[in-house]
Amino acid sequence: MVVASREEHGMNGYAHDKDAYLKRMRRIEGQVRGIAKMIETDQYCIDVLTQVSAATKALEAVALGLLDEHLKHCVTEAAAEGGAVADQKVAEASAAIARLVKS
């Protein structure tokens, strides 16, 4: 996985909500640790699956929020610039959407 630097792309679109995203991710991290404990203690499989579903939905909500920020900030700025930068940002957004739809 290639991760671009902040210098390469400028300020992240989610920067103003960074603390909220981090809080949500810590909550999801706790959910996942809870699922691991459920498995360790041999909890009923349907209960484990219910918690896996909840964690998955929480991650999807974060992903959709980040995608929305990317479209509003990064893609909009690139579209105003035009040219190859705009094409690249639209391609990145399309690829991200495809990954989310497949998951």
Give the residue among 6, 10, 8, 13 at the shortest CA–CA distance from 96: 13
- How far is Cα 12 from Cα 14, in angstroms, rounded to an integer? 5
pLDDT at 11: 63
The answer to whether 39 and 48 are in contact (CB under 8 A) is yes
The answer to whether 86 and 59 are in contact (CB under 8 A) is no
- Sign of the C-alpha dihedral computed for residues 89, 72, 99 and 48 taken in this order: positive
> Mind listing the pLDDT tens digit for each residue in 23-61?
999 999 999 999 999 999 999 999 999 999 999 999 999
**Angle at Cα 20 formed by Cα 50 and Cα 22, nearest 5°?**
70
> Mind listing the pLDDT tens digit for each residue in 57-99?
999 999 999 999 999 998 999 999 899 999 999 999 999 999 9
User: For residue 75, what is the DSSP state?
Assistant: I
pLDDT at 17: 87
